[in-house]
Amino acid sequence: MKQPLTILQSSCVPLPLDNIDTDQIIPARFLKATDRKGFGDNLFRDWRYAPDGTPRDFVMNDPTYTGSILVAGENFGCGSSREHAAWAIADAGFRVVIARSFADIHRQNELNNFVLPLQVDKDFHTALLEAISRDPRATVTVDLPAQTVTIDATGQTAHFDINGYKKYCLTHALDDIDFLLENKDKIENYETQHCSTRR
Amino acid sequence: MNTLFDKIWDAHVVQHVADGPDQLYIDRLYCHEVTSPQAFDGLRRRGIRPLRPTRITCMPDHNIPTLHQDQPISDPVGRKQVETLAQNVKEFGLTHYGLMDERNGIVHVVGPERGLTQPGMTIVCGDSHTSTHGAVGAIAFGIGTSEVEQVMASQCILQTKPKTMRITIDGVLGRGVTAKDLALYLMSQLTTNGATGYFIEYAGEAIRALSMEGRLTLCNLSIEMGARGGMVAPDEVTFAYLKGRPEVPQGEAWDKMVEQWRELRSEPDAIFDKEIHFHADAVTPMVTYGTNPGMAIAIDGTIPASATESDKKALSYMGFHEGEKMLGKPVDYVFLGACTNGRIEDFRAFASIVKGRQKAQHITAWLVPGSWSVYRQIEAEGISDILTAAGFELRQPGCSACLAMNDDKVPAGKLCVSTSNRNFEGRQGAGSRTVLASPLTAAAAAVTGVITNPNDLL
C-alpha cells in the first residue's frame, strides 16, 4: 500500500464526466469485504459491465486507453465516504487522478492511499483532453516535488497545490498514523488541559 | 472568525502541523460494520489498541435485514461483516449496540437519541452522513477508513480546517414543506458541490423553528452540497431534546453543561468566508429528477434543459425528458427511512397522509425506522396501527434501501420515491431509479401510486 510517489510519466484514461460519485466508482454491494484487496476488479463496475458480466462500451474496456493516470471532470468522488473507492482506484493501478475538482472526503482518501488527487484549471483540463483525443497514447508527466503537471507533446505545464505535509508523506511513503503516534505526548497534554472527565 | 465553528474547532486543536493540517482532538468516534474492519486490521498490524476506547461506540446498520433480525443474516458476506464488528469490539473492549440490542439502529439516528452526540463536541464516523450530528451544535464529519484507524490509534485526526459558510433562511416554511424540502431546495440552488471546502452553519428564523428531527435531516444533507458538515447553534430546542437521554449528564451536572452550551453560538461580529440568504417563501415540496441530489425541482415544476453531458446522461438513465412534469409520474416503490428521514417525526408525517387512506395496490412500500427506539415510539403512539390499517407493514430498523446492502433492493428500471439522501445511479439496487422527497411526498405517492403534491392530500 505505502508506495512513494515522486515523478510519474504515463498515458491517461479519460473519463471527463462531472459529479462522478463513489457509488459509481465502487457500488455498495462490493463493500462487504473485510480486507482491502481486490477492489480494482469492481472499479466502475456498473459502467464497465452489464449485469450478466458482458463488457460495456466504456473507456476502461477500450485497449486504446491505458496508463496510471485517470482524468475526470468536476467534483470527482462526491457522495459516500467509502475509502473502498480509493482502494479500487489504487488497486486498478492508478497513481494520479487529474480532475477539475474533488469532493473533500474522497480527496483525503486518495491521499491516504498514496494516490495523488491533482486539481487543474479549465484551460489545462481542456488542453489535456484535446491532447488525448489527438493521440490516445499522449503522455503526461507529474512531478510531485516540483508540483507541476506537463502535457509532454505540447510542453504545456501547470502548477498544482498540495500541502507540504501531505507532499512529504507521499514522496516518503509515510502515513498519518506514523506521524500521530510520534506525537502522543501532545495528545496527553491536550487531554490534561481540556478533558476534565474522560467521557 | 468568532463563528460557532471556529470556537469548537479551535478548542480541539492539539497542534498545527507545519505547512499542513491541524491535529484535531476527537470526542466521539462512531463505527459501523462496513468501514471499520480494515481499520481494526490496521491496529492489529501495528500491534496497538484504541487509545481511548470509552470514546468509541459501534453498531451494525448497513447490512442488517429489516425482517427477522433474530435469525442469522442470509447473505454470508454481509453476515461476516456484522460478525467481524462484534468480534472486533470484543477484542478491543469497545461499546457495541449489536443486532437485536434495543439500542441498535442507524448510527446517525442512535447517536443523538442516546445523547452520545452533544453540543460542542467533535464527532467523526466512517460515513459521510456523520454531518447529521452537527444539528446539536457539534462539529461532525465523515471520514475514510484510514482516518477511522487514525482516530482509534490516537483519538486525533489530521484535517485541514474548512472554510465557513452561513446559510440564513428567513421567514416561515409553508404548509407541507419540511426540512427535507428545504435541504433539497438548497441543493438545487447551490448544486451538489456548491459547498465543497466549507462547513455550514444554518441560521435564521426558519431554522430556529425546526424541531430537532428537522435539524438532523437538514444537517444530514449538508454533505450532498459538498460541505464537510453542517451545524445549528444549540438552543432551547436542543436542550429539551437532549435532557434526560441516557448518555447526557443528569441533575446539577446537566445544568452546568447547559450553561456552557449556551455560549456555543456565532458572535454578532462573526465573519464567515461565505454568507448566503434565502427566504422560506421560495421553498415548496421538492423532488429530484436526476442522478445527483442537486438535480431537484419544485414538485409542480418541469425538468430543466440539460446543460452538460453529465446532465444528459442523468436524464437518459432516469428515462425522463426535459420539459416534462414530475407530477403524475408512475411510482413502483416507496421507501421511508434512512439517517435522513427515519425518525419519529418522519413517521408521524407519513401517517398524517396515509391515515384513512389505502396504499396503492401496485406500490411496494418499505417503512423502516431508524432505530429500535423509534420503532417502539411508533408503536407507543399508535402510528403502527394507522400504518397497518392503510395496508403498510412496519419493518425492523437499519439503513435498508438507502444503499441496498441488505435484501431491500429496488429492481432495475423501477422507480422509487425515497426519503433517503442519494439518487445516484444504482444506489438503491443496480439499475434502480430514485426520486428523493420528503416523508409527506413519499406518503402521497404511496397512496396515489404516482408523484403527487402532498398538499393535495393534507
Of B77, B130, B403, the CB nearest to A28: B403
Tell me whether residues B422 and A32 touch, CB distance under 8 A.
no
Are residues B301 and B417 both part of a single domain?
A: yes
The C-alpha atoms of residue B272 and residue B5 are separated, in whole angstroms, by 10
- For A:85-104, CB contacts with B below 8 A are 86, 101, 103-104
3-class state of residue B57 by DSSP: strand
Element (H, E) at A142: strand A139-143
Of B17, B78, B223, the CB nearest to A32: B78
**% chain A with pLDDT above 70:** 97
* A11 closest CA partner among A55, A62, A78: A62
Give the domain-ending residue among B251, B284, B317: B284
Distance from CA of A10 to the nearest CA of B (A): 26
In this predicted model, what pLDDT tens digit does every residue of A117-150 receive, in sequence order? Answer: 999 999 999 999 999 999 999 999 999 999 999 9
* A196 close to B (CB below 8 A): no
Question: Is B252 an 8 Å CB contact of chain A?
Answer: no
Contact (Cβ atoms closer than 8 angstroms) between residue A109 and residue B127: no
Helices (H) and strands (E) counted in chain B, each on its own, are 16, 18
Contact A187 B18 (CB under 8 A): no
Provide, as residue numbers in chain B, all residues whose Cβ is less than 8 Å from the Cβ of A105: 128, 141-144, 228
CA dist B6 to B143, B207, B231, Å?
Answer: 20, 20, 12
- Count CB pairs under 8 A between chains A and B: 184
Which of B14, B51, B427 comes nearest A186 by C-beta? B14
User: With contacts defined as CB-CB under 8 Å, which chain A residues touch B309?
Assistant: 17
Q: In chain A, what residues touch B292 (CB-CB under 8 Å)?
A: 19, 21, 78
Residue closest to B183 by CA, chosen among B223, B143, B130, B124: B223
Q: Is the predicted ipTM greater than 0.90, yes or no?
A: yes
In a shared domain, residues B48 and B186:
yes
* B34 has a chain A CB within 8 A of its CB: yes
- The domain of B105 spans 1-284
Give which of B200, B178, B175 is closest to B190, Cα–Cα: B200
pLDDT profile of chain B (458 residues), mean per 10: 94 96 98 98 97 98 97 94 98 98 98 98 98 98 98 97 98 98 98 97 98 98 97 98 98 97 97 98 98 98 95 97 98 98 98 98 98 98 98 98 96 98 97 98 98 97
- The CATH architecture to which A7-174 belongs is Alpha-Beta Barrel (3.20)
Contact across the interface for A198 and B54, Cβ inside 8 Å = yes
By Cβ distance, the residue of A21, A78, A190 closest to B25 is A190
Query: In the predicted model, is pLDDT for residue A83 greater than 80?
Result: yes
Q: Whose grid coordinates read 449496540?
A: B97
Assess B123–A contact: CB distance below 8 Å, yes or no: no
> Are the Cβ atoms of A187 and B156 closer than 8 angstroms?
yes
Please determine, for residue A197, whether its predicted confidence score (pLDDT) is greater than 70: no
Domain end (from B284, B313, B338)? B284
CA angle at B415 for the pair B411 and B416, rounded to the nearest 5°? 90
Which chain B residues are within 8 Å of A44, Cβ to Cβ? none
Q: Say if A109 is an interface residue toward chain B (CB within 8 Å).
A: yes
Q: Which of B241, B268, B284 is the last residue of a domain?
A: B284
Do both B273 and B343 map to the same domain? Answer: no
Question: What pLDDT band is residue A37 in, cutting at 50, 70 and 90?
Answer: confident
Pick from A23, A34, A164: CB nearest B84: A34
In this prediction, residue B368 carries a pLDDT of: 98
Q: How far apart are CA B155 and CA B176, in angstroms?
A: 43
Residues in A touching B75 (Cβ below 8 Å): 32
Span B53-65, pLDDT tens digits: 999 999 999 999 9
Chain A from 118 to 157: CB within 8 A of any B CB: none
- Write the CATH number for B319: 3.30.499.10
Question: Rounded to an integer, what distance in angstroms lies between the CA atom of residue B442 and that of residue B257?
Answer: 39
For residue A198, pLDDT over 60 is answered with: no
Contact residues, chain B, for A185 at CB < 8 Å: none
Q: Are B391 and B358 in contact (CB under 8 A)?
A: yes
| Grid coordinates of A75 | 467534483
- Using a CB-CB distance cutoff of 8 angstroms, which residues of chain A are in contact with residue B316? none
B279 and B405 inside one domain? no
Map residue A107 onto helix, strand or coil: helix
Q: Which residue of B has its CA nearest to A183?
A: B154
The answer to whether B361 contacts chain A (CB < 8 Å) is no
Q: Which residues of A touch B52 (CB under 8 A)?
A: 198
Based on the fold, state whether residues B82 and B93 are members of the same structural domain: yes
Q: How far apart are CA B394 and CA B66, in angstroms?
A: 9
Instruction: Looking at the structure, tell me whether residues B106 and B76 fall in a common domain.
Output: yes
Contact B426 A46 (CB under 8 A): yes
Report how many domains make up chain B.
2
Whole-structure pTM value: 0.97
Same domain, B69 and B96: yes
* Nearest CB neighbour to B154, from listed A101, A104, A181: A181
Q: From the CA of B62, how many Å to the nearest CA of chain A?
A: 10
DSSP string, B159-196: EPPPEEEEEEEES---TT--HHHHHHHHHHHH-TTTTT
Indicate yes or no: CB of B412 within 8 angstroms of CB of A101: no
Give the closest residue to B237 by CA, choosing from B374, B169, B135, B345. B135
Q: What is the mean pLDDT of residues A161-180?
A: 94
Q: Which residues of chain B make contact with A79, given a CB cutoff of 8 A? A: 128, 223, 422, 424
Is B268 in the same domain as B124? yes
- DSSP letter string over B206-268? HHHTS-HHHHHHHHHGGGGGT-SEEE----HHHHHHHTT-TTS--HHHHHHHHHHHTT-S--T
Please indicate whether, in this complex, the C-beta atoms of B52 and A82 are within 8 angstroms of each other. Answer: no
Mutate to test the interface with A, among B62, B196, B400 (most CBs of A within 10 A): B196
Residue A73's φ and ψ, nearest 5 degrees, are -100, -130
* Contact B35/A at CB under 8 A: yes
B204-219 pLDDT tens trace: 999 999 999 999 999 9
Residues B159 and B176 both lie in one domain: yes
Provide the mean pLDDT of chain A: 95
**pLDDT value of residue A199:** 46
Q: Exposed e or buried b for every residue in A126-158, given b needs 16+ CB within 10 A? A: ebbbebbeeebebbbbbebeeeebbbeeeeeeb
Phi, psi of A193 (to 5 degrees): -80, -35
> Per-residue confidence at A196, pLDDT binned at 50, 70, 90?
low
Nearest by CB: B405 against A31, A108, A198: A31
